[in-house]
Protein backbone atom coordinates (compact mmCIF):
# COMPACT_ATOMS: atom_id res chain seq x y z
CA UNK A 1 0.00 0.00 0.00
CA UNK A 2 1.39 3.38 -1.07
CA UNK A 3 -0.18 6.67 -0.02
CA UNK A 4 0.71 10.12 -1.30
CA UNK A 5 -0.72 13.19 0.39
CA UNK A 6 -0.37 16.47 -1.52
CA UNK A 7 3.14 15.62 -2.63
CA UNK A 8 5.29 18.29 -4.23
CA UNK A 9 8.85 17.78 -5.40
CA UNK A 10 11.07 20.66 -6.33
CA UNK A 11 14.34 19.92 -8.15
CA UNK A 12 16.44 23.02 -8.58
CA UNK A 13 14.21 25.75 -10.01
CA UNK A 14 11.59 23.32 -11.22
CA UNK A 15 8.54 21.95 -9.45
CA UNK A 16 8.56 18.43 -10.91
CA UNK A 17 5.54 17.09 -8.99
CA UNK A 18 2.83 19.60 -8.18
CA UNK A 19 0.38 18.29 -5.62
CA UNK A 20 -0.09 14.56 -6.13
CA UNK A 21 -2.47 12.69 -3.82
CA UNK A 22 -3.34 9.02 -4.29
CA UNK A 23 -3.82 5.76 -2.44
CA UNK A 24 -2.30 2.92 -4.44
CA UNK A 25 -3.49 -0.48 -3.28
CA UNK A 26 -4.13 -2.36 -6.54
CA UNK A 27 -1.84 -5.19 -7.61
CA UNK A 28 -0.89 -3.80 -11.03
CA UNK A 29 -0.51 -0.05 -11.43
CA UNK A 30 0.90 1.74 -14.48
CA UNK A 31 2.22 5.29 -14.73
CA UNK A 32 2.31 6.97 -18.15
CA UNK A 33 2.81 10.49 -19.46
CA UNK A 34 4.98 12.67 -21.66
CA UNK A 35 8.76 12.90 -21.35
CA UNK A 36 9.60 15.07 -18.36
CA UNK A 37 6.10 14.85 -16.86
CA UNK A 38 7.49 13.52 -13.56
CA UNK A 39 7.00 9.75 -13.83
CA UNK A 40 10.49 8.65 -12.75
CA UNK A 41 10.45 11.16 -9.92
CA UNK A 42 7.12 9.70 -8.76
CA UNK A 43 8.49 6.14 -8.96
CA UNK A 44 11.56 7.13 -6.97
CA UNK A 45 9.32 8.49 -4.20
CA UNK A 46 7.85 5.01 -3.68
CA UNK A 47 10.98 3.55 -2.14
CA UNK A 48 12.51 6.67 -0.69
CA UNK A 49 15.06 7.18 -3.49
CA UNK A 50 13.48 10.63 -3.82
CA UNK A 51 11.78 12.53 -1.01
CA UNK A 52 8.88 14.95 -1.22
CA UNK A 53 9.71 18.62 -0.77
CA UNK A 54 6.33 19.00 0.91
CA UNK A 55 3.54 16.50 1.59
CA UNK A 56 4.04 12.90 2.68
CA UNK A 57 4.62 9.52 1.09
CA UNK A 58 3.67 6.54 3.24
CA UNK A 59 4.67 3.06 2.09
CA UNK A 60 3.64 -0.08 4.00
CA UNK A 61 2.77 2.20 6.90
CA UNK A 62 6.12 4.02 7.00
CA UNK A 63 6.86 7.64 6.16
CA UNK A 64 9.60 7.57 3.48
CA UNK A 65 11.16 10.69 4.97
CA UNK A 66 11.83 8.99 8.29
CA UNK A 67 12.20 5.30 7.43
CA UNK A 68 13.73 5.11 3.97
CA UNK A 69 16.12 2.28 4.89
CA UNK A 70 13.31 0.11 6.25
CA UNK A 71 11.18 0.80 3.17
CA UNK A 72 14.02 0.02 0.76
CA UNK A 73 14.30 -3.45 2.28
CA UNK A 74 10.64 -4.12 1.43
CA UNK A 75 10.26 -2.25 -1.85
CA UNK A 76 12.36 -3.40 -4.81
CA UNK A 77 13.29 -0.96 -7.56
CA UNK A 78 14.16 -2.00 -11.11
CA UNK A 79 15.96 0.63 -13.19
CA UNK A 80 15.55 1.07 -16.95
CA UNK A 81 19.14 0.13 -17.73
CA UNK A 82 20.07 -3.25 -16.24
CA UNK A 83 23.77 -2.48 -16.74
CA UNK A 84 23.40 0.12 -13.97
CA UNK A 85 22.28 -2.68 -11.66
CA UNK A 86 24.69 -5.50 -12.60
CA UNK A 87 27.73 -5.40 -10.33
CA UNK A 88 29.26 -8.89 -10.20
CA UNK A 89 31.10 -10.91 -12.87
CA UNK A 90 28.73 -13.86 -13.23
CA UNK A 91 24.96 -14.17 -13.27
CA UNK A 92 24.72 -16.26 -10.08
CA UNK A 93 27.22 -14.06 -8.23
CA UNK A 94 25.27 -10.98 -9.20
CA UNK A 95 22.03 -12.33 -7.76
CA UNK A 96 23.83 -13.60 -4.63
CA UNK A 97 25.32 -10.11 -4.14
CA UNK A 98 21.82 -8.79 -3.39
CA UNK A 99 21.68 -11.06 -0.34
CA UNK A 100 25.06 -10.02 1.08
CA UNK A 101 23.57 -8.11 4.02
CA UNK A 102 21.26 -10.94 5.03
CA UNK A 103 24.02 -13.05 6.58
CA UNK A 104 22.42 -16.27 5.32
CA UNK A 105 24.20 -19.63 5.29
CA UNK A 106 26.00 -20.18 1.94
CA UNK A 107 23.74 -23.09 1.14
CA UNK A 108 20.59 -21.01 1.52
CA UNK A 109 22.05 -18.27 -0.68
CA UNK A 110 22.86 -20.90 -3.31
CA UNK A 111 19.34 -22.34 -3.14
CA UNK A 112 17.59 -18.96 -3.32
CA UNK A 113 19.74 -17.83 -6.23
CA UNK A 114 19.19 -21.09 -8.10
CA UNK A 115 15.43 -20.93 -7.52
CA UNK A 116 15.01 -17.36 -8.78
CA UNK A 117 17.21 -18.00 -11.84
CA UNK A 118 15.23 -21.15 -12.62
CA UNK A 119 11.92 -19.32 -12.34
CA UNK A 120 13.04 -16.65 -14.81
CA UNK A 121 14.68 -18.94 -17.36
CA UNK A 122 18.28 -18.03 -16.52
CA UNK A 123 19.35 -21.26 -14.78
CA UNK A 124 21.45 -22.28 -17.79
CA UNK A 125 23.34 -18.97 -17.58
CA UNK A 126 24.22 -19.10 -13.87
CA UNK A 127 27.99 -19.24 -14.43
CA UNK A 128 28.08 -17.03 -17.53
CA UNK A 129 29.56 -13.52 -17.50
CA UNK A 130 26.66 -11.20 -16.67
CA UNK A 131 27.74 -8.51 -19.14
CA UNK A 132 27.64 -10.97 -22.04
CA UNK A 133 23.91 -11.63 -21.67
CA UNK A 134 21.54 -10.14 -24.23
CA UNK A 135 19.65 -6.96 -23.29
CA UNK A 136 16.52 -8.94 -22.46
CA UNK A 137 18.41 -11.48 -20.40
CA UNK A 138 20.15 -8.66 -18.53
CA UNK A 139 16.76 -7.15 -17.72
CA UNK A 140 15.63 -10.53 -16.38
CA UNK A 141 18.86 -10.81 -14.37
CA UNK A 142 18.26 -7.38 -12.83
CA UNK A 143 14.71 -8.54 -12.02
CA UNK A 144 16.08 -11.72 -10.37
CA UNK A 145 18.52 -9.65 -8.30
CA UNK A 146 15.60 -7.61 -6.99
CA UNK A 147 13.18 -10.53 -6.54
CA UNK A 148 15.66 -12.72 -4.63
CA UNK A 149 15.16 -10.23 -1.78
CA UNK A 150 11.44 -11.09 -1.82
CA UNK A 151 10.19 -7.49 -1.81
CA UNK A 152 6.55 -6.84 -0.98
CA UNK A 153 6.27 -4.15 -3.64
CA UNK A 154 8.16 -3.90 -6.93
CA UNK A 155 8.70 -0.58 -8.70
CA UNK A 156 9.84 -0.74 -12.33
CA UNK A 157 11.03 2.33 -14.25
CA UNK A 158 10.58 1.66 -17.98
CA UNK A 159 11.52 -2.02 -17.77
CA UNK A 160 10.98 -2.76 -21.49
CA UNK A 161 12.43 0.38 -23.12
CA UNK A 162 15.66 -1.31 -24.21
CA UNK A 163 14.04 -4.59 -25.21
CA UNK A 164 12.90 -6.06 -28.52
CA UNK A 165 9.34 -7.28 -28.89
CA UNK A 166 10.13 -10.85 -27.81
CA UNK A 167 11.92 -9.79 -24.65
CA UNK A 168 9.30 -7.14 -23.86
CA UNK A 169 6.69 -9.89 -24.03
CA UNK A 170 8.82 -12.07 -21.78
CA UNK A 171 9.03 -9.32 -19.17
CA UNK A 172 5.25 -8.77 -19.52
CA UNK A 173 4.63 -12.48 -18.93
CA UNK A 174 6.84 -12.47 -15.84
CA UNK A 175 5.04 -9.40 -14.60
CA UNK A 176 1.70 -11.13 -14.94
CA UNK A 177 2.58 -13.92 -12.52
CA UNK A 178 4.49 -11.99 -9.86
CA UNK A 179 2.63 -12.14 -6.55
CA UNK A 180 3.81 -8.68 -5.47
CA UNK A 181 2.15 -5.33 -5.92
CA UNK A 182 3.88 -3.86 -8.98
CA UNK A 183 4.05 -0.22 -10.11
CA UNK A 184 5.40 0.23 -13.64
CA UNK A 185 6.44 3.50 -15.28
CA UNK A 186 6.36 2.95 -19.02
CA UNK A 187 5.94 4.28 -22.55
CA UNK A 188 5.06 0.72 -23.62
CA UNK A 189 1.28 1.01 -23.54
CA UNK A 190 0.70 -2.62 -24.55
CA UNK A 191 2.32 -3.69 -21.27
CA UNK A 192 -0.61 -2.17 -19.38
CA UNK A 193 -3.49 -3.98 -21.08
CA UNK A 194 -4.47 -6.12 -18.11
CA UNK A 195 -3.41 -3.70 -15.37
CA UNK A 196 -5.85 -2.71 -12.63
CA UNK A 197 -5.19 1.01 -12.74
CA UNK A 198 -3.18 3.55 -14.75
CA UNK A 199 -2.17 7.06 -13.69
CA UNK A 200 -1.48 9.68 -16.37
CA UNK A 201 0.95 12.43 -15.44
CA UNK A 202 1.10 15.75 -17.20
CA UNK A 203 3.46 18.48 -16.11
CA UNK A 204 3.77 17.15 -12.57
CA UNK A 205 0.08 16.47 -11.97
CA UNK A 206 -2.10 13.37 -12.19
CA UNK A 207 -4.57 14.26 -14.93
CA UNK A 208 -6.20 10.84 -15.26
CA UNK A 209 -6.49 7.87 -12.93
CA UNK A 210 -8.54 5.08 -14.44
CA UNK A 211 -8.55 1.54 -15.89
CA UNK A 212 -6.00 1.10 -18.74
CA UNK A 213 -8.29 1.77 -21.75
CA UNK A 214 -9.68 4.99 -20.35
CA UNK A 215 -6.31 6.26 -19.05
CA UNK A 216 -4.53 5.44 -22.33
CA UNK A 217 -7.33 7.18 -24.25
CA UNK A 218 -6.81 10.27 -22.12
CA UNK A 219 -3.05 10.13 -22.72
CA UNK A 220 -3.53 9.80 -26.50
CA UNK A 221 -5.80 12.86 -26.33
CA UNK A 222 -3.08 14.83 -24.54
CA UNK A 223 -0.51 13.86 -27.16
CA UNK A 224 -2.75 14.63 -30.15
N1 LIG B 1 18.12 17.00 -10.47
C2 LIG B 1 17.25 17.69 -11.21
N3 LIG B 1 17.27 19.05 -11.21
C4 LIG B 1 16.38 19.76 -11.94
N5 LIG B 1 15.43 19.18 -12.72
C6 LIG B 1 15.38 17.86 -12.75
C7 LIG B 1 16.28 17.02 -12.02
N8 LIG B 1 15.96 15.73 -12.26
C9 LIG B 1 14.91 15.75 -13.11
N10 LIG B 1 14.57 17.02 -13.42
C11 LIG B 1 13.47 17.44 -14.29
O12 LIG B 1 12.28 16.96 -13.73
C13 LIG B 1 11.33 16.71 -14.76
C14 LIG B 1 10.72 15.35 -14.55
O15 LIG B 1 11.68 14.35 -14.72
P16 LIG B 1 11.31 12.80 -14.68
O17 LIG B 1 12.58 12.04 -14.98
O18 LIG B 1 10.59 12.49 -13.43
O19 LIG B 1 10.32 12.70 -15.91
P20 LIG B 1 9.75 11.43 -16.68
O21 LIG B 1 8.30 11.65 -16.83
O22 LIG B 1 10.20 10.17 -16.04
O23 LIG B 1 10.44 11.59 -18.12
P24 LIG B 1 10.89 10.51 -19.22
O25 LIG B 1 9.66 9.92 -19.81
O26 LIG B 1 11.63 11.35 -20.20
O27 LIG B 1 11.78 9.49 -18.55
C28 LIG B 1 12.09 16.87 -16.07
O29 LIG B 1 11.76 18.10 -16.62
C30 LIG B 1 13.53 16.84 -15.65
O31 LIG B 1 14.32 17.59 -16.53
pTM of the model: 0.92
Q: Average pLDDT, stretch 121-146?
A: 92
10 lines ligand 1 (CB under 6 A): no
| Residue 204 alpha carbon, nearest atom of ligand 1 | 14
Give the torsion through C-alpha atoms of 46, 51, 52, 58, to 10 deg.
Answer: 40
How far does the centroid of ligand 1 lie from the alpha carbon of residue 14, in Å? 9
Mutation to probe ligand 1, out of 18, 36, 204 (largest number of atoms < 8 A from CB): 36
Q: Right CATH number for 2-223 from 2.130.10.10, 3.40.50.720, 3.40.50.300, 3.40.50.150?
A: 3.40.50.300
This complex has an ipTM of 0.94
Share of the chain above pLDDT 70, in %: 100
14 lines ligand 1 (CB under 6 A): yes
Confidence of residue 9 (pLDDT cuts 50, 70, 90): very high
Q: Given this model, what pLDDT does residue 210 score?
A: 97
Q: Given this model, what pLDDT does residue 176 score?
A: 87
Q: Given this model, what pLDDT does residue 175 score?
A: 87
Q: Given this model, what pLDDT does residue 80 score?
A: 87
Amino acid sequence: MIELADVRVRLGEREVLRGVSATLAERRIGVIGANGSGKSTLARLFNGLALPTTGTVTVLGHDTRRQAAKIRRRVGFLFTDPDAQIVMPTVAEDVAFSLRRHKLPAEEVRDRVAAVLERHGLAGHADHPAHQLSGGQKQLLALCSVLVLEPEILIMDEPTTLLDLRHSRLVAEHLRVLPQQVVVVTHDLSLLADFDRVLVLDDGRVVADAPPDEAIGHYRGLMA
